Structure 1
Amino acid sequence: MDKKQSVLKNFLTYIKIDTQSDENSETVPSTAKQLNLANVLMEEIKALGITDVELDDKGYIYGKLKGNIDVKVPTIGFIAHMDTALEFPYPGDEARVIENYDGELIVLCEDVVLDPANNPPLLDAKGKTVVVTNGKTLLGGDDKAGVAEIMTALEYMVKTPEFKHGDIAFSFTPDEEIGTSVDHFDVKKLAADRAYTLDGAAPDEISYENFNAASAGLIIHGIVTHPGEAKNKMKNALHVACEFAEALPASERPEHTEAYEGFYHLMDMKGNCEEASLEYIIRDHDIDKLEQRKALMSKCAEFLNEKYGAETVEICFKDSYRNMAECMKGHEEHIEYAMEAIREQGFEAKPAPMRGGTDGAGISRMGVPCPNLGTGSYNHHGNREYAVVEEMVVLVDIMLSIISKYAKGEE
């Protein structure tokens, strides 16, 4: 079986289908068009002869490929999400396949280029097959590259009976990009002992740590008077809002942080003299530091209330997801199998702390340890998104190697 041909065909098929989610929707899935891809996947899965598969009423696919060995080994799951980000339109038929990439600048459209100097992974893609956008759309590698890779791995196992494996669970989920996919994920239907998401970038990376996440909402109440008579009377909510924003450490904004460094991110700010609102997301890999960030924001609000009057600033917090690292304790071999598989492909396995969330974080908290693997796609959420097909094949081989290790019961 030609895995490169399979994964490329899958990928090009899936990215033509518009599956963008909608953060303002109250339905599940948030957009009916995500079901268009789900239905295509269901047809392809059944065509492979896999009958243990379900598309539920919320748009989640759960399936299992029965093992072909006599010994009992853990059921391993692989998960990818079907929806794509919201920042740009979906690519439709506009994606371009570049065979034998020459390593030079790629002109996507007028005024939009993909420059290897600013995209180091492209330097390693010379001579390989690269899929790019037209400069005006997403590509959809996040996460249709992951979907394509799982489907190719399933096809390989079905068509290669001499490849020995235990039961393999898989799931394709909606609404990951709007942060609600785990809310409706049925871990019992997945029926896996351990799992991996494929939702990262480089094939040499594995993530088993992610941010702890919270959000903060502020309402600031002002007092409006005629500006000509405002002395000692007016309280401009906009100025108080700016004062709050400037009170937080400027060096701890997303644009100044990396790796394990947390941040405060002002997502939205609006209002007028009478009332203003601010919306923050707060992130840190260390849960104690996250709580310290929340405490600092509360202290800033208290200071402004002392300065401008009680109840000038209202602040409330909402916790979101948690770092999956603590869920990996006792499952170190699950990480090591993946790292060994990565090394077998000629890479130095790189544990990479995720500066974001993943379905795996929520699934890990449901009792199924679920680190994140790469996809071979890059620049997610942008019009310079691209995928390297040979790296997608590497991810297929990494999955197969992990599966083989579990089937052999390697220690």
Structure 2
Amino acid sequence: MSDVLERFLRYVQVDSPSDPDNEEEVPSSPLEHGMARLLADELSAMGCQDVSVDEHAYVLGTVPASAGAENLPALCLCSHLDTTADAPSLGVRPHVVRYEGGSLVAGVVDGQTIETTPEQVPDLAGFVGKDIVCSDGSTLLGADDKAGIAEICALAARLLKDPCIPHPTLKLAFVPDEEIGHGAALLDLEKLGAAWGYTVDGEALGEFNYETFNAAEALVRVRGVMVHPGSAKNVMVNAITVAAEFDQLVPAAERPEHTSGREGFFHPTVIRGTASEVTLSYIVRDHDSRIFSQRQQTLKDIAAFLNKRYGEGTVSVTLHEQYRNMAEAFGDCPFLIDNALAANREAGVEPQVIAVRGGTDGSQLSLRGLPCPNIATGGYNAHSVREFIPASSLETTVDILQNLVAKFAVPQTAGDRAPVPQAAR
């Protein structure tokens, strides 16, 4: 078993989901501390320097530069240690399946076969005869983003074992709560000491991202007027009815299930309440900052319309911006993009630049002054009990990262401009 596969199988069995209902605390779940302490211990044991883990479950470590690269700018590699609450995430039991074609079966849960078909993931055709890691079907796998952690740690172990492999000083960062939009917000960039970096938090092998959504969360609160239903005529305002009306006024064609590519969306995620009061949560996404602002205004306009109908204060909308499109951060350092594309090709992988329909910790870091595009991990079906990752993709990603860090063992020069993404997913 390869080092990266062994690490990955161990890491996914450490429960560390973030808690979307406790966003005010960092980390949002005490379980994340356990993953943070494990990583800090492993980094120290392999010989990393300046290893630390703080009260917010941020883990830092340093891999010293190879000979001749000591005075070059440090490079950050970053992944997040939380898993999502979008699917069951406690008690992950990974197993390795030798895939022989047809449906990839993770397991059978309550009589239901949990499987991924080649029609759902056409890339499966390329994995026939290879080992694929799945959960048992009752939980997600956690490749998002423990695959990234395993790949970074396997690279660090390789470089520390053979310091002659060219690389600059590497600053490793593992952060909590990325899945609930917090991520690297409290990462101390001065303490980190890197000039630029990469997150390792993508999907299919070869995908590369330096453009993300702009993202906001909207909390819609509907306050009803309750009286006895026997005397409710012309008096009662049922919060459930108004909340349903609000959701019907959100453009139906602009939901994630009807959009793709560069099309943004409104996505209702949670509804709670009674006839007296209801809360609705939406996430709002768009690559285009102008349209992103318009989407936020649309929700405010719907609330204003309903308040005219039912009375001022019936509906309120609170918006919280989560992250911004990081593409604007790479004008002065297109080599971050060029180096990543070349590193993939040197590992035998033809890269594909994708404007990702989501965000990464790099979104925050790039706009805070640490340009940080995103490298793929090799995983599929994230946030799902059908999540999987080929063992070969884990191993190839470590090779890609080795190729990548070698390119920063020499001084970097800015090019004319960065390439433009050709697709969005």
1:298-326 per-position Cα deviation (integer Å, ceiling 9, x unaligned): 22222222233333322232222111111
Shift in CA distance, 338/249, structure 1 to aligned 2, threshold 3 Å: same
- What letter corresponds to residue 324 of structure 1 in structure 2? M
2:21 is equivalent to residue 19 of structure 1: no
Give the distance between the partners of 2:238 and 2:156, measured in 1 at CA. Answer: 61
Shift in CA distance, 269/54, structure 1 to aligned 2, threshold 3 Å: closer
Q: Which region of structure 1 is more displaced relative to structure 2, 31-40 or 377-386? A: 31-40
Corresponding residue of 1:68: 66
Give the distance between the partners of 1:373 and 1:119, measured in 2 at CA. Answer: 20
With structure 2 as the length reference, what TM-score do the two structures score?
0.89
- What letter corresponds to residue 256 of structure 2 in structure 1? P
Return 5+ residue gaps in structure 2 as ranges.
Answer: 414-425
Give the distance between the partners of 2:190 and 2:253, measured in 1 at CA. Answer: 43
Shift in CA distance, 17/305, structure 1 to aligned 2, threshold 3 Å: closer
Q: Could you tell me whether the CA contact under 8 Å between 1:88 and 1:381 is conserved in 2?
A: no
Q: Could you tell me whether the CA contact under 8 Å between 1:91 and 1:140 is conserved in 2?
A: no
* Cα deviation, residue 241, structure 1: 2.1
Q: Could you tell me whether the CA contact under 8 Å between 1:90 and 1:139 is conserved in 2?
A: no
Corresponding residue of 2:150: 148
Give the distance between the partners of 2:229 and 2:90, measured in 1 at CA. Answer: 48
* Cα deviation, residue 391, structure 1: 0.9
Corresponding residue of 2:28: 30
Q: Could you tell me whether the CA contact under 8 Å between 2:238 and 2:276 is conserved in 1?
A: yes
* Cα deviation, residue 373, structure 1: 1.0
Shift in CA distance, 131/302, structure 1 to aligned 2, threshold 3 Å: same
Q: Could you tell me whether the CA contact under 8 Å between 2:46 and 2:160 is conserved in 1?
A: yes
Shift in CA distance, 43/311, structure 1 to aligned 2, threshold 3 Å: closer
Give the distance between the partners of 1:122 and 1:262, measured in 2 at CA. Answer: 28
Q: Which region of structure 1 is more displaced relative to structure 2, 338-347 or 280-289? A: 338-347
Q: Could you tell me whether the CA contact under 8 Å between 1:215 and 1:280 is conserved in 2?
A: yes
2:193 is equivalent to residue 191 of structure 1: yes
Secondary structure, aligned partner of 2:168: coil
1:351-387 per-position Cα deviation (integer Å, ceiling 9, x unaligned): 2122222111111122100111111121112111111
Corresponding residue of 1:167: 169
Q: Could you tell me whether the CA contact under 8 Å between 1:21 and 1:84 is conserved in 2?
A: yes
Give the distance between the partners of 2:358 and 2:16, measured in 1 at CA. Answer: 21
1:263-310 per-position Cα deviation (integer Å, ceiling 9, x unaligned): 111222343444333222211111111111122222222222223333
Corresponding residue of 2:77: 78
Corresponding residue of 1:96: 95
**Percent of residue pairs identical:** 39
Give the distance between the partners of 1:37 and 1:241, measured in 2 at CA. Answer: 39
Q: Could you tell me whether the CA contact under 8 Å between 1:220 and 1:277 is conserved in 2?
A: yes
Task: Work out the number of aligned pairs and report it.
Answer: 406
Question: Alignment partner for residue 104 of structure 2, among 83, 103, 106?
Answer: 106
Shift in CA distance, 307/150, structure 1 to aligned 2, threshold 3 Å: same
1:164-221 per-position Cα deviation (integer Å, ceiling 9, x unaligned): 2211111112222233232321122221111111111112111111111122222333
Shift in CA distance, 338/314, structure 1 to aligned 2, threshold 3 Å: same
Give the distance between the partners of 1:48 and 1:268, measured in 2 at CA. Answer: 43
RMSD: 2.1
Secondary structure, aligned partner of 1:406: coil
1:140-176 per-position Cα deviation (integer Å, ceiling 9, x unaligned): 1111111110111111112223312211111112222
Secondary structure, aligned partner of 1:7: helix
Alignment of 1:300-379 (within 5 A): 300-379=302-381
Return 5+ residue gaps in structure 1 as ranges.
Answer: none
Q: Could you tell me whether the CA contact under 8 Å between 2:167 and 2:405 is conserved in 1?
A: yes
Q: Could you tell me whether the CA contact under 8 Å between 1:206 and 1:372 is conserved in 2?
A: yes
1:39-68 per-position Cα deviation (integer Å, ceiling 9, x unaligned): 332333223222332222322111111112
Secondary structure, aligned partner of 1:215: strand
Secondary structure, aligned partner of 1:80: strand
- What letter corresponds to residue 222 of structure 1 in structure 2? G
* Cα deviation, residue 91, structure 1: 4.3
Corresponding residue of 2:7: 10
- What letter corresponds to residue 53 of structure 2 in structure 1? L
